[in-house]
């Protein structure tokens, strides 16, 4: 049985003319911070732990109008788009943190 070793670090989705591009933090320390934040939120489900997760998601997601490229603020999105943004980001991050890491070899 083969494992998926292509570890996701980015998602891109266009919904209702709005392009959502979410990326994991570049630094391993920030990635670990986000991982711990997700775990804390899933265990407690408090507004405080959600605020930390939400801030990571918003700060690492670019939201633009697909046709014009104009950048939008998260506050300008509908509830449906916010839900998609959060769901897609958490799905990508969950896959990243549960996938085996691809080993790099220098030859």
Q: What are the 10-residue block averages of pLDDT along the chain, 107 residues in total?
A: 68 95 93 94 96 95 96 94 95 88 52
Sign of CA dihedral 80, 26, 44, 95: positive
**Number of continuous H segments (helices) and E segments (strands) in the chain:** 3, 3
pLDDT of residue 15: 95
pLDDT of residue 99: 80
CA–CA distance, 59 with 65 (Å, rounded to integer): 17
């Amino acid at each position: 049985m083969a494992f998926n070793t292509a570890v996701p670090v980015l998602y891109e989705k266009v919904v209702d003319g709005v392009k959502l591009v979410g990326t994991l933090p570049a630094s391993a320390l920030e990635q670990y911070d986000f991982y711990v934040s997700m775990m804390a939120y899933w265990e407690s489900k408090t507004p405080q732990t959600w605020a930390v997760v939400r801030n990571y998601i918003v700060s690492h997601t670019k939201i633009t109008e697909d046709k014009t490229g104009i950048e939008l603020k998260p506050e300008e999105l509908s509830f449906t788009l916010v839900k998609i943004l959060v769901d897609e980001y958490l799905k990508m991050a969950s896959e990243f943190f549960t996938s085996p890491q691809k080993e790099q070899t220098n030859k």
